[in-house]
Structure 1
Amino acid sequence: MRQALRIATVLVLAVFSAAPALAQRTDIVVGLVLEPPHLDPTSNAAAAIDEVVYANVFEGLTRFAPDGQIVPGLAESWDVSEDGLVYTFHIAQGVTFHDGSTLTAEDVVFSLDRARGEDSVNAQKFLFDDIESVEASDESTVVVTLARPNGNFPFNMAWGDAVIVAPESADTNTTNPIGTGPFRFESWRQGDSVTLVRNEDYWGEAALLDRATFRFISDPTAAFAAMMAEDVDAFPVFPAPETLIQLQSDPRFEVVVGTTEGETILAMNNRREPLNNVLVREAIAHAIDRQAVIDGAMFGYGTPIGTHFAPHHPAYVDLTELSVYDPERSRELLAEAGSEDLRLSLALPPPVYARRGGEIIAAQLRAVGIETEIVNVEWAQWLEQVFGNGDFDLTVISHTEPLDIEIYGREDYYFGYGAPEFQEIWDELNRTADPEARNALLGDLQRNISENFVNAYIFQLAKAGVERVELEGLWVNAPTQATDLTKVHWVQ
């Protein structure tokens, strides 16, 4: 009997030792709320583009690290002249585009000149405003001369709008993006997903994933169902915050809560009557109970703000008291402006913060005598109608670009502010290098837009996401609008 047991045990051990180990996954399915209008980050403001291609497909001279620091990208290093006017970028060697062509300094010259040119369609042309000239001193060195000092220049070059593209493929990047990143574009199923595959010829540290599929799921119920069915492995910004408690209790998942650069605002068209009256804008701001919006739309995920600036930034000024919830004050201001019984349209794009938050805001405005006609618009329609043509009264939107208060200095920006006094402060900021002095000027900019009630500032968008517990490497915080997969991998 003992001998038989010993033989059986040996046979069992032999079977298990001969069985192959479970293969570690090398693919991922990521859920995103919005489908990008196209895939070229240098010709559209939609954050959904960067969420797919930033650092994955396209790279810039510099880039954002997960903690928000600016680190080398295609430029291994750079030097700055003593007067702060000349930046010399040293380009990494052996870099190739996905079509096999070699990256040279001339491609950098082309990209920056294209972005700042008169016919440029770059949504963030201000990033390049201070450039006087761009020259290639040799095949791997680019010299950028500024018209005035700008200590933020390496920061500007880290934006998705400043990625480096090749002249041969620049015009077709919208549908067939060709960059230098660790992933190549494979396919786009319109209305469903974009798939990337590992770039086997990547010049830097290779990606750990072979394949990445971005699935576009804007409906909160569908997003929850996709996670529970394991059709999606991660949803970095989950559109159904009310279900996060349930997902957190499921041993398959981990809920990850961090910060973003997303200022969620009720944007007002400052060009249109009666919103061109500061009294009306102030009345609207006082009608909004920020915490009620955060609790009702985001189930408590979000930080109240009183200006267009991230609370985690050292220059942030808490100005929430300027527009504190005060319905009685709101009614008084409307009477003073002669705008009782006001009727306005409210355009709401698909994200949950907009659709759910907009319903709550509409009820709060109704309580002070402002009726709103809610118009639910798809993302492409919002970009064209609201952002592009400025055809709106009110809209709820989250601006996720980093340190983007500069937009208030643009006269042609969709909410139409561009006050000269704001522009003067911004110009002084660009001339200032001292960190403390810069923070003080950033505070002045925040006060300017808050005291003029340009928009109603509601909350800083939290990065509340969910992912499989075996996943590692996704960003906790979001220093820019990206789903950086360069370090993502599965663990057993």
Structure 2
Amino acid sequence: MKTPSRAACSDMTRRTLLARAATAGVSAAALDLTAQMRAAAAPIPSGPTSVVAAQGTPANEVAPSGQIILARNLSELSTLHPFVARFTSALAVAYHVNEGLTKFAPDFGVTPGLASEWTVSDDQLTFTFTLRQGVTWHDGEPFTANDVLFTIEAAGAEDSEAAAQETVRTYIASVEAPDDATVVITLTEPYSPLLTVLAEQLTILPAHLLAENVYDEAFALMPVGTGPYRVTGREASFITLEHNPDYWGELPYTDTIILRDSPEPAAQQAGLLAGELDVVPYDPTTMANLTGQGYAVFRGQAGSVHGINIDLQSPLLQDLNIRQALQLGLDRERIRSVLYAEGIIADTVVSPAYGEYHNDAMPEIARDVEAAGALLDASGWVLGDDDVRQKDGQPLTIQYQAWASQQWQNIAAIAQASWLEIGVNAEIQNVELALLVDTMSSRYELATVGWPLTSDPIVGLAQLFQSTDRTLADGGTRNVFGYKNEQVDALLAEAFATTELADRVAVAHQIQEIVAADLPFIPFAHPAYQLVTQPEIVLDETGTGALSSIGPGFFMNRWRVNEDS
């Protein structure tokens, strides 16, 4: 793809766009985010916004210093391209490298990013962004309006892998650059999540590097952005991030962050104790003694949901009775107590971290082995001599994809034992975590995956449950279930068109009820983000001593080394 000329960019109309488009820790203290979610979901204001600091987080006034070594599973970081990354851990790293016109704050609010301010027309169709001046890419080239137009065009292209591809194709009528300092986005109809999408799914790409190939492999490994951190090193066992000395905004506190490959909990704890790792996920069942030794634990309630994904393309699992039996038979309390010690049992997909969007009227999903058995009886599955149910001579056997990580293996083992009590044989298939995207993009029957709902739960619900024929690998969706429901689609369209909090909350509640009845996904936990650190490391992301609910690692720019300790 050639870089559009400035004149061509200024004249990019909907016709042009359409022609070219021919398109996952455990434990934590609960945070009261209801008021903050009101702010995040409030009507988009008319008139310019002003540059504001994230609530409760004072600006850094000192030069970045120190180094933090963070345990990561590098198989999840095989690509850092913001259009291609699917793992939350990779998106968190990419968020520090490539930035959007807007950014999100730790409390889910939207703040200025590469746009210093914007105005919105009374009809909510025209957004005029004033770009920051003097911003440079990590390679020293200037950031321009052309980069914004290039990115949005690439996101909407036919071969796009971007999460925002359908948003661009459906809602963006035109993108224009009347001058070097201004970008105007005109919508086909009101779309309330636009500022959120610009922050999360349309981070800006460098046109001067990707004009020939948006998905350049070298860029995917070591992307070039405008953000507070640069990727300066990449080896088989680590990735190095160094602070950007020319950053336009608030400087990060820490000079260097090293992402070291260490996926297993036992190795993480050993590395922490040996002083080889500074930050690792905290497991209260095995690490409770660390706080007495001076190590610090930082917590935050997760905005994600973990559960069992169901492939509705499987003929066996198209039977709602079987899906309901699997949910009723699952020992969710054992999963929580063993693997999510300070997390919350999930009765719906929207976490309480989202305040009013969480439907707390959803009925509790209590384990009921007898009721599960009755459902299977009603579908003609009867117990055989081996205690596995059979129908027409075929055993009730279901394939369960379990990722090659101890946490996911333990969940699979608990599920397998739970379902054997109701006569269901779950055959566990061990799959390398690096193959998750490919596996979930094809036929799989059952698999455990945790899904974040982004900073706007309406966008998160759309990503999971809006009808689509695309796959996780294609991008633009997390609907790995093959789930389609016209009522859900209509409700999402209704929520997209309004900025009224009460209306959006009502839609979110209805969708949670419909999805719970249709059951493409069996929720079992809203985890708590918990990280344990060396005594001198401070991970205050919110100004209250807590981690942000958006996700672990999205605010590493706020992590610091207390060199006086």
- Structure 2 length as normaliser, TM-score? 0.78
Which residue, 258, 281, 286 being the options, matches 1:213?
258
Determine helix, strand or coil for the equivalent of 1:212.
strand
Per the alignment, residue 293 of structure 1 pairs with 335
Higher Cα radius of gyration = 1
Structure 1 stretches of 5 or more lacking a match? 1-23
2:220 corresponds in structure 1 to: 174
* Aligned residue in 2 for 1:234: 279
Match of residue 144 from structure 1: 185
> Quick one: which of 106, 121, 133 aligns to 1:66?
106
The partner residue of 2:398 within 323, 341, 344 is: 344
1:10 matched to which residue of 2? none
Q: Tell me the residue number matched to 2:286.
A: 243
Change (3 A) 1:462 1:473: closer
Give the Cα–Cα distance (whole angstroms) in 1 for the partners of residues 229 and 159 of structure 2.
30
Count of paired positions: 460
Aligned pairs for 1:72-83 (under 5 A) are 72-83=112-123
1:440 to 475, 487, 506: 506
Is the counterpart of residue 189 in structure 1 residue 235 in structure 2? yes
Give how far 1:478 is off. Answer: 3.0
| Structure number with higher relative contact order (C-alpha < 8 Å, ≥ 6 residues apart) | 2
Pick which of 271-280 and 472-481 moved more. Answer: 472-481
Pair 1:329 & 2:386 matched: no
From the superposition, tell whether residues 479 and 97 of structure 1 become closer, same or farther in structure 2 (CA, over 3 Å). Answer: same
Q: Residue 417 in 1 paired to residue 483 in 2?
A: yes
Q: CA deviation at 1:346?
A: 0.9
In the other structure, the counterpart of 2:523 is 457
Q: Deviations over 1:257-316 (max 9, x none)?
A: 211222101000011111112111111111123221100223x12111122211122121
Distance 1:60 1:260 in 2: 23
What one-letter code is carried by the residue in structure 2 that aligns with 1:46? F
* Cα 1:254/1:102, change in 2 over 3 Å: same
Q: Percent identity?
A: 26
- Report the Cα distance in structure 2 between the residues aligned to 1:180 and 1:246, rounded to whole angstroms: 41
The letter for the 2-side match of 1:162 is: L
Partner of 1:85: 125
Note the C-alpha offset of 1:219. Answer: 0.9
Number of the residue aligned with 2:18: none
Question: Is 2:483 the counterpart of 1:429?
Answer: no
Give 3-state SS (helix, strand or coil) of 1:323's partner: coil
Offset from partner CA, 1:310-348 (integer Å, 9 cap, x none): 112212113653632111111111121234521111112
Q: 1:405 aligns with which of 439, 451, 461?
A: 461
Alpha-carbon RMSD across the aligned residues, in angstroms, is 1.9
Unaligned runs of 5+ in 2: 1-63, 383-388, 390-395, 470-478, 542-546
Where 1:312 maps in the other structure, the secondary structure is helix
CA distance in 1, matches of 2:560, 2:172: 39
**Residues 353, 83 of structure 1: CA spacing in aligned structure 2 closer, same or farther, 3 A cutoff?**
farther
Post-superposition offset of 1:25? 5.7
Following TM superposition, the consecutive aligned residue runs of length 4 or more in structure 1 with deviations greater than 6 angstroms are none
CA distance in 2 between counterparts of 1:25 and 1:79 reads: 37
> What is the deviation of 1:165?
0.6
Q: What pairs up with 1:26-45 in 2 under 5 angstroms?
A: 26-33=66-73, 35=75, 36-45=77-86
Deviations 1:4-38 (A, max 9, x none): xxxxxxxxxxxxxxxxxxxx961111112453121
Cα distance in 2, alignment partners of residues 473 and 319 from structure 1: 34
Contact 1:411 1:418 in 2 (8 A): yes
Q: Are the structure 2 counterparts of residues 83 and 103 from structure 1 closer, same or farther at C-alpha, using a change threshold of 3 Å?
A: same
Alignment TM-score, normalising by the size of structure 1: 0.89
Structure 1 residues 92 and 291, CA gap change in structure 2 (3 angstroms): same
Aligned to 1:162: 202
